[in-house]
Structure 1
């Protein structure tokens, strides 16, 4: 885990042409996405079907899989789980097409998903452009991936030591994308191995239903430091 300095980040959404600013306290973020080996060691399962090396990022994960993984790893390491799951399956429909909510204990020291503001702030690492470096140097994308996933850490990190913030796999964030239009859909960030170059930018937002599992989606761990 890398300590990310606090700061100010401005987010934007092309669909709605909306911008908003967020002030962030320091937090911790994993240097790379969770690997298949790490996920299998913690959960005993491998949703990525064991493709190749254990250093591949775990993928085919739903948002619910991701928050359960955070809690499971927290318990194994003696940390307080960040999430309270109201149902064992975590997918109970409340009648209007949305799942019953997960609550986030913001005082917990366990692992969690980054907020999308935390994700973008960490991705930019103090830069102001669409990317923190030349795309082919920092990311696996459709133009150089040969249309398959790659081991984590294979491209250059940003200046804060974070690898694969762009490309390889999209990463789940905590946030709901747009509840008035998309209900419980959650935010994805970062672009993936099958995405064109324009999707691999620090500001790009994608959305997906929290129960869906997609072959270019994984997760990266965050933590709130102890006071």
Structure 2
């Protein structure tokens, strides 16, 4: 909230949603999220930041838009994606939502979230991208396009030379080891609990971690948390959005 970057990105996201619906003007209710441990302290200020203007006129990709803001609701990242199916979480469960900037961790025991065991780590996928770029520059003296790096992180492969592919995979594996180390610091024990991984970084666990599929569930739907924001927002507005 220290600058206008996130606000501008929010307008861009709104424009893309309106374009899908064939609209250029609308009244919009924002359903957004914050890292788990930031919600209680930053919810009100984040909401005020998003609603700093009652209306916005702007252009995006050559098209003009007019948007009025009807309100905003702020939800906890990660947890929102599973809030409607907590009964499925029997025994001890660790929820791990890996985003671009942060990794959110929460315990859900016998269907009940444990507020005292929620953690936010500044260890998102952006840190992995930075590490990969630095490794390639140090080892080969080259700058590789981000789309190539993203392909390797998402799918474990890309149409590039073996030496570059090996370097990217090596760095991704080191990053994933860092994730697992942080989870262990929060008392993750595979034999005693189930791990549920989601968010854009879930593909890194799938591609570069060693794990028991019977003890680890990976949700590859990168929109899962956003869908978790939308449903309660719709209910609170009587399904009118």
TM interval, short-chain normalised: under 0.3
TM-score in terms of structure 1 length: 0.24
Q: Which has the higher strand share?
A: 2
Higher relative contact order (CA 8 A, sep 6+): 1
TM-score in terms of structure 2 length: 0.23
Q: Which has the higher helix share?
A: 2
